[in-house]
């Protein structure tokens, strides 16, 4: 068991409570940075994909995990980010302007939606975002001169300051670019969560009534959180556009929104680390299924490849199991395991028992 | 004439949206949760009726196959509540939203692996029969859809407003703990409502199938039905029906008079407008939360 000795009030809000934890993250980032030298092209591309999903997951995590606003339409913000970035670059705007612009566009759009939407409580917001998603999808088809309509649009290869970040030509550079964005966003996110703004997000999530009583402007906080959330998702969308190369509106289907929800729920709601764990699961699962499928086919002659929709089915079952048995997600489970080891002989099963809660209506009639 | 024709078709369509929306509202009324799998339950109900009734499947007569399908789906709804949803008892609404989305995918997979993904047609006694008069053509299927929906809504409304069980269900949704204290078997009520939602979904599915082919993806209609429930105000049964009718009528009219993509957006635009102007829906039941 490690005892943390605090010598100043500042250490209460430190990002890492102990230097060893900070060192662990430094090592992790170091390994991630060295990845292009360690693995082949295929796995590097997969790693890049995972990082993009983690970025999008972090975006959704701000809304769902930290402010308690469920969004079923985050694919819309991915789309806005991707199309803004690609369309701007296609008219010759350099990447280092187009990329932030994509985030800004998605963020502003999200905040504008959020202002009326935050008047609605939980479930209504989820529905409104779903409607927004459908509307954005149709808008993409309508705005054909900008978005390429049904035909699709090409995300040009990135060149900034004379260095090529092409998805295929210079995968290593492209990977480092994504890694840099992800690290920066994560760092900003973690710091945001220990600032008054971040704390007010948590307060709004846990009880709107109490938050209001403490003097927090709930509407502004929710709109800000939703705007930030969609902005980060927009950045991820821009990167996803470059990763895919050529895309149309079908890339951003309702299933992407649901996969994103999967990322944050399975990863662990309310933990930044959860977005990463969820992203690893969601990008890793198809690989595992493919390997399993091949080995089953080769060794036992069972051809599960013939069953369509099996992947989605497996995802759904995993999701159901997680919601029922481990609502805190992978990261929550990891925290439990870690605590068990840290206080080794003293851990008891009831330490993490869930409180029994009773539901009260939001309708007062 | 053309407009009236469009409106009649739209009303019949709207009735189906309304029926699916009724399922949402029932579950919302009794457990304050939203069942995003309602559209997929409708799909599954239609497929079960098809599996029982069609000549090349089990070949039961239509009037036997449909009640049987309704009974089976009642069981499915009941079972889903008992096995899965009950585990989330007292958890935030959000958990149920994600759970039911996942359940919807499971239903879709089940239907897809049994009946395949290509469109199938349910054999019904009123296929292709029309009633004419005054330049209008009303298909029998449309008429059946409208009548059945009206009757079912009335029955369900009476159930929730007049019977002891219905009132108990409302009490359970408003305050679970208080309902427990006054002796309402909250868990059993929830199971019952889920079963009823399954049964209503089957009726909607069969009505949908009488008017066209079905495939495992028709459950996506649930999203539109959802818009209907929201327009009416979640928690109001007549509201759900009216919301469904509004969407059903607006859709074909918009398709006729408004260009392309904009008409597809119309249900959602209506919903957003309602949500922004009246956050609780047209028949709002929501009031500011007090401490």
Task: Give a three-class secondary structure readout of B185-204.
Answer: CHHHHHHHHHHHHHHHHHHH
In a domain, A271, yes or no: no
On average, the pLDDT of chain B sits at 82
On whether residue A77 sits in a domain, the answer given is yes
Q: What pLDDT is recorded for position A307?
A: 64
Q: Do B279 and A119 touch (CB under 8 A)?
A: yes
| pLDDT value of residue A233 | 92
pLDDT of residue A228: 92
Whether A26 contacts chain B with CB within 8 A: no
d(C-alpha A129, C-alpha A71), whole Å: 6
At A303 the pLDDT is: 63
Band the pLDDT of B199: cuts 50, 70, 90: very high
| CB B202 within 8 Å of CB B253 | no
A-B Cβ pairs (cutoff 8 Å, strict): 150
Q: What is the residue whose two structure tokens read 């949402």?
A: B24
A159-160 vs A163-164, strand pairing mode: antiparallel
Rounded CA gap, B26 and A116, in Å?
Answer: 27
- Coil/strand/helix, residue A272: helix
CB contact under 8 A, B271 and A120: no
Residues ≥6 apart with Cβ < 8 Å to B178: B171
pLDDT band with cut points at 50, 70 and 90 for residue B127? low
Number of domains in chain A: 1
Phi-psi region of B29 (alpha: psi -120 to 50; beta: other; left: phi over 0): alpha
CB contact under 8 A, B32 and A121: no
Q: List the single residue in B with minimal CA-CA distance to A263.
A: B98
Q: What is the pLDDT of residues B61-104, one digit of tens each?
A: 878 888 888 999 999 999 998 888 887 776 777 778 888 888 88
As a whole number of angstroms, the distance between CA A108 and CA A252 comes to 19
d(CA B16, CA A213): 44
Closest Cα partner for B66 from B155, B222, B199? B199
Q: Among A72, A73, A131, A311, which would you mutate to test the B interface (most chain B Cβ atoms within 10 Å of its Cβ)? A: A131
Residue B289 has a pLDDT of 46
- How many CA within 13 A on the CB side of residue A344? 2
pLDDT of residue A302: 65
Across A198-202, A315-319, B227-231, B280-284, which has the greatest mean pLDDT?
A: A198-202
DSSP code string of B126-188: TTT-EEEETTEEEEHHHHHHHHHHHHHHHHHHHHHHHSHHHHHHHHHHHBHHHHHHTT--HHH
- Integer Cα distance of A276 and A282 in angstroms: 10
Letter string b/e over residues B272-287, b meaning 16 or more CB atoms within 10 A of that residue's CB: bebbeeebbbbbbbbe
Residue B260: CB atoms within 10 A of its CB come to 11
A326 domain-assigned:
no
Which residues neighbour B180 within 8 Å (Cβ) at sequence distance 6 or greater? A358, B186
Asked if the structure places residue A150 within a domain, the reply is: yes
Instruction: Please report residues of B whose CB lies closer than 8 A to that of A122.
Output: 92-94
Given the cut 0.85, state whether the ipTM is greater than it: no
CB-nearest to A116 from B88, B175, B276 is B276
Q: Which of A280-284, B5-9, B107-111 has the lowest mean pLDDT?
A: B5-9
Residues of A in contact with B288 (CB under 8 A): 364
Cα-trace Rg, chain A: 21
B123 phi, psi to nearest 5 deg: -85, 120
Nearest CB to A316 within list B32, B105, B227:
B105
- Altogether, the residues listed in chain B come to a count of 291
What's the residue count for chain A?
365
Task: Give the CA angle between residues A120, A123, A127 to the nearest 5°.
Answer: 85
CB atoms under 10 Å from CB of A160, counted, come to: 14
Strand, coil or helix: B24: helix
Query: A195 in the Ramachandran plot: left (φ > 0), alpha (ψ -120 to 50) or beta?
Result: beta
Q: Mean pLDDT across the stretch B145-162?
A: 87
Among A161, A70, A174, A177, CA closest to A114: A70
pLDDT in tens, chain A (365 residues): 567 777 888 777 777 777 788 888 889 888 888 888 888 888 888 888 899 999 999 999 998 888 888 888 888 899 899 888 888 888 878 888 888 898 999 999 888 887 776 666 667 777 788 888 888 888 888 777 777 777 777 777 777 776 777 777 777 788 888 899 999 999 999 889 888 898 998 888 877 788 888 888 888 888 899 899 999 999 999 888 888 888 877 788 777 888 888 888 888 888 888 889 989 988 888 788 778 777 777 777 666 556 666 777 887 888 888 888 877 788 888 888 888 888 877 777 777 666 555 555 444 33
Rounded to a whole number of angstroms, the distance from the CA of B285 to the nearest CA of chain A is: 6
CA neighbor of A151 nearest in space, from A253, A254, A246: A246
What pLDDT, on the 0 to 100 scale, is given for residue B290?
44
**pTM for this one?**
0.84
Using DSSP, state whether A309 is helix, strand or coil: coil
Interchain CB distance below 8 Å, A320 and B112: no
Q: What domain range includes position A34?
A: 16-252
A310 close to B (CB below 8 A): yes
Choose, out of A72, A320, A328, the residue to mutate when testing the contact with B (most B CBs < 10 Å).
A320
| C-alpha distances out from residue A220 to A63, A67, A225, Å | 13, 12, 8
Q: What is the pLDDT of residue A110?
A: 87
- Cβ B37 vs Cβ B103: under 8 Å: yes
- Tokens matching residue B174: 């408003």
Residues in B closer than 8 angstroms to A361, CB to CB, are: 32, 173-175
SS3 label, residue B214: strand
**Domain ranges in chain B?**
2-219
Predicted pLDDT at B251: 84
A 83-142 near B (Cβ less than 8 A): 116-117, 119-124, 126-128, 130-132, 134-135, 138-139, 141-142
Query: Residue A363's pLDDT is what?
Result: 45
Distance separating alpha carbons of residues A303 and A290, to the nearest angstrom: 11
Contact criterion met (CB below 8 Å) for A213 and A124: no
> In this predicted structure, what is the pLDDT of residue A356?
55
């Amino acid at each position: 068991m490690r005892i943390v000795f605090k010598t100043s009030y500042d250490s209460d809000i430190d990002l890492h409570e102990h230097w060893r934890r900070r060192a662990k993250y430094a090592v992790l980032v170091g390994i991630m940075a060295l990845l292009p030298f360690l693995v082949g092209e295929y796995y590097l591309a997969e790693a890049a994909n995972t990082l993009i999903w983690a970025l999008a997951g972090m975006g959704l995590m701000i809304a769902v995990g930290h402010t308690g606003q469920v969004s079923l339409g985050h694919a819309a913000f991915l789309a806005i980010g991707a199309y803004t970035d690609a369309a701007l670059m296609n008219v010759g705007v350099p990447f280092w302007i187009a990329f932030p612009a994509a985030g800004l566009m998605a963020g502003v759009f999200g905040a504008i939606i959020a202002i009326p939407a935050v008047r609605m409580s939980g479930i209504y917001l989820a529905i409104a975002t779903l409607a927004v998603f459908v509307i954005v999808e149709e808008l993409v088809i309508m705005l054909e001169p900008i978005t390429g309509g049904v035909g699709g649009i090409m995300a040009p290869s990135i060149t900034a300051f004379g260095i090529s970040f092409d998805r295929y030509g210079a995968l290593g550079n492209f990977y480092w670019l994504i890694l840099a964005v992800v690290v920066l966003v994560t760092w900003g996110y973690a710091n945001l969560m220990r600032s008054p703004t971040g704390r007010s997000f948590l307060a709004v999530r846990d009880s709107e009534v109490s938050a209001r009583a403490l003097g927090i402007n709930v509407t502004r906080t929710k709109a800000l959180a939703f705007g930030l959330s969609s902005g980060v998702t927009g950045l991820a969308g821009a990167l996803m556009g470059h990763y895919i190369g050529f895309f149309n509106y079908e890339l951003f289907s309702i299933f992407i929104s649901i996969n994103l929800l999967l990322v944050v729920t399975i990863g662990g709601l309310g933990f930044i680390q959860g977005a990463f764990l969820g992203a690893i699961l969601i990008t890793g699962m198809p690989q595992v299924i493919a390997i399993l499928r091949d080995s089953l086919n080769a060794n036992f002659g069972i051809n599960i490849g013939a069953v369509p929709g099996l992947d989605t089915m497996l995802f759904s079952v995993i999701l159901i199991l997680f919601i029922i048995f481990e609502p805190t997600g992978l990261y929550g489970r990891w925290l439990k395991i870690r605590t068990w080891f840290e206080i080794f002989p003293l851990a008891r099963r009831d330490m993490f028992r869930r409180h029994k809660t009773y539901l009260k209506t939001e309708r007062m009639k | 004439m053309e407009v009236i024709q469009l409106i009649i078709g739209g009303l019949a369509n709207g009735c189906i949206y309304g029926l699916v929306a009724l399922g949402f509202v029932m579950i919302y009324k009794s457990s304050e949760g939203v069942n995003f799998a309602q559209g997929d339950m409708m799909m599954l109900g239609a497929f079960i009726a098809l599996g029982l009734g069609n000549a090349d499947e089990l070949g039961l007569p239509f009037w036997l196959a449909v009640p049987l399908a309704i009974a089976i789906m009642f069981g499915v709804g009941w079972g889903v509540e008992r096995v899965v949803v009950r585990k989330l008892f007292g958890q935030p609404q959000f958990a149920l939203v994600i759970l039911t989305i996942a359940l919807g995918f499971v239903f879709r997979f089940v239907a897809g692996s049994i009946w395949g993904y290509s469109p199938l047609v349910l054999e019904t006694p009123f296929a292709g029969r029309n009633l004419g008069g005054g330049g209008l053509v009303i298909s029998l299927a449309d008429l059946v859809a409208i009548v059945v929906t009206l009757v079912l809504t009335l029955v369900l409304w009476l159930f929730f407003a007049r019977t002891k069980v219905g009132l108990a269900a409302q009490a359970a949704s408003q305050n679970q703990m208080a309902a427990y204290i006054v002796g309402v078997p909250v868990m059993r009520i929830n199971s019952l409502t889920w079963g009823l939602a399954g049964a209503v979904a089957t009726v909607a599915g069969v009505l949908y199938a009488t008017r066209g082919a079905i495939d495992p993806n028709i459950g996506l209609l649930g999203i539109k039905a959802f818009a209907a429930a929201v327009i009416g105000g979640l928690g109001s049964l007549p509201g759900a029906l009216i919301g469904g009718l509004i969407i059903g009528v607006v859709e074909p009219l918009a398709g006729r008079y408004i260009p392309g993509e904009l008409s597809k957006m119309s249900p959602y635009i209506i919903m957003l407008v309602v949500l922004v102007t009246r956050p609780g829906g047209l028949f709002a039941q929501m009031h500011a939360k007090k401490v």
